[in-house]
Amino acid sequence: MPTVFFTTVDVFTSNRFEGNPLAVMTDARGLSDGDMQKIAAEFGYSEVTFVLPPENPENTARVRIFTPTMEVPFAGHPNVGTACVLGGRGEVFGKPIGDVMRFEEKAGLVTVGLRRDGDRVASAAIRAPGPLVAGRTVAEETVARCISIDASQVSARVHHPVLASVGLSFIVAELRDLNALAAARPNLACFQDAAGPTPEGNHDFSLFVYVRRAEAPWAIRARMFAPLDNVPEDPATGSASAALAAYLVSLEPEADMNVSLTIEQGVEMGRRSVIGVDVVKTNGVVTDVTISGACVEVMRGEVAY
């Protein structure tokens, strides 16, 4: 019976059993699309990655990312975690690697930089593959129903809830305070109603809610709910953090900015995560978004298929 080897890591943390777990299939050759989807569903993590030889030999690897229900074009914590795993091995498909890797993904080419502490990979930083795209707005009442809070607890002081993306789309919405954030509970039926009947709609309503204080606007607490992807809550969501950070910086009146944000997530789940995001805005346009975080190895094993 054929097998594929995997390594699991906790991402956006330096502490085992915190952060966001990820399984990395370090050599996915021989796996079909269906095999990948079944393995991702079996793990039940928010994402699982599958590493394949690159189509362009100048790149490091081709990386496919699966949630328990579907393949996605890009996500933050899978890239950080995959980079940490491969960086610790020292080579990929027989080629030695240094401190910069390039992953071929459905959303485009993702460049990853590693920071090492001696022989150990301490953290990784990735550049979001897409430009900031802000789409439709969503009613505060809809967000409130989806997370079982009163509509008065959804704030529109800076922006209305909006679909934002730098490679993967999320509805981002500000809540009034930490009490509202703590009270949030996903309501599957409301998510289904909000997503609508279109085939892609059921996966276009992941909800990233956050709180920030006026005196510390770039220190943010957040939670992410995606029950339509069989992820009731995610402890760390780099792609959502990047989309939110880029969108908030885009709203600032200054035409040129370099902003470093810290987004704390997963606290209410007992899996605290810390996500760093750096955003560059030039001539009024967000040009670069970089996501960074630490990573710690947890398990190694093999999957029979």
Give pLDDT tens digits for 179-191: 999 999 999 999 9
Half-sphere exposure at residue 200, Cβ-oriented, CA atoms within 13 angstroms: 5
- Choose, from 18, 47, 104, 233, the residue flagged as catalytic: 47
pLDDT at res. 131? 95
Residue 159: burial class (beta carbons within 10 Å; 0-12, 13-18, 19+): middle
pTM of full prediction above 0.75: yes
pLDDT at res. 201? 41
Distance CA 164, CA 157 (A): 17
Question: Nearest 5°: phi and psi at 165?
Answer: -155, 145
Distance CA 295, CA 4 (A): 22
Distance CA 12, CA 122 (A): 11
pLDDT at res. 124? 97
Regions of the chain where pLDDT drops below 50: 199-202
Q: Which helix (H) or strand (E) holds 90?
A: none
Question: Nearest 5°: phi and psi at 75?
Answer: -160, 150
Domains of the chain: 3-127+294-304 (3.10.310.10), 133-292 (3.10.310.10)
Active site residue 91: no
Kindly state the tokens that stand for 299: 């398990």
